[in-house]
Amino acid sequence: MSAYHQVVERTLSAPTLELLAWISERPRSYAETMEAWTSHCPRLTVWEDAIADRLVAIGREGVRLTAAGRAGLSPVS
């Protein structure tokens, strides 16, 4: 099973779904995303987990959802 399918098949937490929905609403800069989603609490690693799970990517245009991130937002049928 590919890493993509492992991430999509896993149940995403409510904070992760909130992050993905927030990013999908409109283009977000890296600075804006860091201001809104960086945490110094070791128990709240939403941003770091989304990067590690390849749900989001950072590019010149800012922060965007990957295919896995978009799939994570899609309702399961």
pLDDT tens digits along 15-53: 999 999 999 999 999 999 999 998 888 877 899 999 999
How would CATH label the architecture of 3-73?
Answer: Orthogonal Bundle (1.10)
Q: What is the DSSP string of 39-52?
A: ---TT--HHHHHHH
Position 63, amino acid: V
What's residue 1's pLDDT?
Answer: 47
65: pLDDT strictly greater than 50: yes
Listed residue (15, 69, 21) closest to 44, CA to CA: 15
